[in-house]
Structure 1
Amino acid sequence: MTDLRVRAGGTEPPVVLLLHGLGATGEVWSDLTDLLGPAAWIAPDLPGHGGSAALPAYSFAAVAEAVAGLVDPRGTVIVGHSFGGVIGLHLAGRPGVRAVIGLGIKVAWTADELAKAAALAARPATVFETRDEAVRRHLRVAGLDGLVDPAGPGLDAAVVRDGDGWRPTFDPRAFGVGEPGLAGLLATAPVPVVLARGEHDPMVSAAHLAALVPGPVDLPGLGHNAHAEDPAALLPLLTPYR
């Protein structure tokens, strides 16, 4: 079993399983978990991110298998951002899953985009002279520039010493997971699936989501990391399944 770093809180079921996007850590959900009150929640660092161990090789299915033990069979609502949303859809058939809410999942991939991701996956992690530089790279890769204070306390798991320098803990090989095959995952999902996006998310359009599910949700005024910009905007998406 993959060694995972997991944060958790609350006691009231169902469990809200929070799966972050590529390059981020479970801390990205901190402002949302503050709003969940007594609701039970779990926010892991996905494999190859933060304090969680790397995988020998990365695929969406392999990452989902690594975190599948966090699904509470008594009742779990999955909220996944981008990469984490695809992982959530891979978990949709696990016993106990009530619904999957996917936020900001990139649906359409060009051959050039996939080639660029594969090239990034082949590069070794960059080591920086200072922790501050490594933190800045982490925030840039995770799309959190300007949304998270680089001096904040929630970034300790995002960077690590490497020899005389520092590097993000994110394993760049995870860039190589490939095209997510969203249509197939949605076709086989046995539970309700909500797809949402920030109104200004450049990675996925409203038309892309509308071609896949009825009634996709646009979150007004928000971008790709809507959960970090305005975590309260996600609460109405959770309400029907809690």
Structure 2
Amino acid sequence: MIHVERGGSGPLLVLLHGLGATGEVWRGVVDRWPGSWLVPDLPGHGRSGPLERYSFGSFAAAVAAVVPAGPVAVLGHSLGGVVALTLASGWFGVDVSAVAGVGVKLRWTPEELERAAGLATRPPKVFETRAEAVDRASKLAGVPLEHGVVPDGDGWRPVLDMAAFGVGAPDVEGLLAAAKAPVTLAAGEHDHMCPSTDLLAASPGGMVLAGVGHNAHVEQPESIDPVLAALGGS
């Protein structure tokens, strides 16, 4: 079951959060879009159930199941950006009119992949207090969260299904080639996960968002405005 929030009226924008986060990270952005919006919690995150196996395709299929028929723009951050590109391939039946990925990690070292695979096998850690669990969930996501924890026995734990860390490295080059809609890639000027050199090598027309880091949409929601304009929100 996928938890979804909706609002607005007019052309639809689907917003997909990054690994460890929840749809709440888009709160500062949705009102900047002139149409309607749909924000899911990805599987294994927030108020959505887990998947038996995590892949970019399984994430995309789950999102596709809650997107209504008709043309939609899709904006994703980090992991969500890869899922957005996957939807733009047309393989999952979503009519994507334009797609954007912000802060998509484009280069992975063997050490980074090994570390992520190790995290995917870790059992969830249970904390005595909700505040401790919220702190841990927020650290996993890299942003403050409210909906990232659940009760567990006498304690609390982050709701994130750690197995999601095992999704692996995306074939961004292949996804860009497969996209059936205009693609915009963007990253914060200070994004350590997607340096400007990597962004512009993958997409010479990529947008470097001034003054922000990896979580531009949370740090300064207004920094996303050029991306929204590229998606048809001007």
TM exceeding 0.5? yes
TM-score, normalised to structure 2, is: 0.94
Q: Which stretch shows the higher mean deviation, 26-35 or 191-200? A: 26-35
Counterpart position of 1:21: 18
Q: State the 1:236 CA deviation.
A: 2.2
Where does structure 1 differ by over 6 angstroms across 4 or more consecutive aligned residues? none
Match of 2:131 in 1: 132
Equivalent position SS for 2:19: coil
Q: Distance in 2 between matches of 1:221 and 1:30?
A: 20
Residue in structure 1 matching 2:45, options 26, 46, 49 = 49
- Matches of 2:81 and 2:139, distance apart in 1: 20
1:4 match: 2
Q: Tell me which residue corresponds to 1:72.
A: 68
Q: 1:106 — aligned with what?
A: 105
Q: Secondary structure at the match of 1:62?
A: helix
Give distance in 1, aligned partners of 2:125 and 2:133.
8
Q: Residue 35 of structure 1: SS of its match in structure 2? A: coil
Q: What does the per-residue CA deviation read over 1:13-59, in whole Å, with 9 as the maximum and x for residues that have no partner? A: 1x11000000000001011113335x100110000000100001111
The answer to whether the 8 A contact 1:222-1:229 is kept is yes
Fraction of identical pairs, as percent? 51
In the alignment, which residue of structure 1 is the partner of 2:166?
Answer: 176
- 1:122 — aligned with what? 121
Superposition pairs of residues 181-200 of structure 1, within 5 angstroms: 181-200=171-190
Q: Give the secondary structure class of the aligned counterpart of 1:12.
A: coil
Cα root mean square deviation, aligned: 1.2
Partner of 1:86: 82
Deviation at 1:233, TM superposition (A): 1.6
Give CA deviations for 1:66-122 in whole Å, capped at 9, x if unaligned: 111233332211000000000001100244211111000000000010000000000
Change (3 A) 1:87 1:177: same
Equivalence for 1:151? none
Question: Where does structure 2 lack aligned partners over 5 or more consecutive residues?
Answer: none
User: What does 1:160-239 align with in structure 2 at a 5 Å threshold?
Assistant: 160-239=150-229
In 2: Cα distance, 1:74 partner to 1:56 partner: 29
